[in-house]
């Protein structure tokens, strides 16, 4: 644990897709690009098998709120509910500590 660790935020988005894939890949790519341009964005990790998990990292809680309310993102969320997702869960989290390993 590092005493100088600066907490930041993670949004854990887990989802089950519907059978309707129409337009999904293009929109997902657009939203990833747009998220990267937002104030406070740090990074993003994504993987999908039976479920999809996307974790995005943000400097502040305010930056998460702003991104959720971005007009293009609101439209994408609406289409997600109408077409692409059978279910999803969003968890807003404060990252309190972290550690990592990298093979030399």
> Least distance from C-beta 60 to a second copy, angstroms?
13
Cβ within 8 Å of residue 77, ≥6 positions away? 68
Residue 102 near a second copy by CB under 8 A: yes
Among 32, 36, 39, 53, binds a second copy (CB under 8 A): 53
Residue 48 near a second copy by CB under 8 A: yes
Task: State the Cα–Cα distance between residues 58 and 6, nearest whole angstrom.
Answer: 12
> Least distance from C-beta 34 to a second copy, angstroms?
21
Task: State the Cα–Cα distance between residues 37 and 86, nearest whole angstrom.
Answer: 28
Task: State the Cα–Cα distance between residues 64 and 51, nearest whole angstrom.
Answer: 23
Binding mask 81-100 for a second copy (x = CB under 8 A): x---xxxxxxxxxxxxxxxx
Among residues 91, 97, 2, 88, which one has the least CA distance to residue 48?
A: 88
> Least distance from C-beta 37 to a second copy, angstroms?
22
Contacting positions for a second copy (CB under 8 A): 10, 12, 14, 18, 45-53, 55, 81, 85-103
């Amino acid at each position: 644990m590092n005493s100088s660790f600066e907490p930041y935020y993670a949004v854990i988005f887990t989802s089950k897709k519907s059978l309707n894939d129409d337009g999904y890949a293009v929109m997902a790519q657009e939203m990833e690009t747009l998220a990267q341009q937002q104030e406070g964005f740090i990074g993003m990790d994504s993987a999908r098998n039976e479920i999809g998990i996307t974790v995005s990292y943000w400097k502040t809680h305010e930056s998460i709120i702003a991104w959720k309310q971005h007009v293009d993102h609101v439209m994408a969320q609406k289409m997600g509910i109408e077409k692409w997702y059978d279910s999803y869960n969003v968890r807003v989290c404060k990252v309190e500590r972290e550690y990592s390993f990298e093979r030399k």
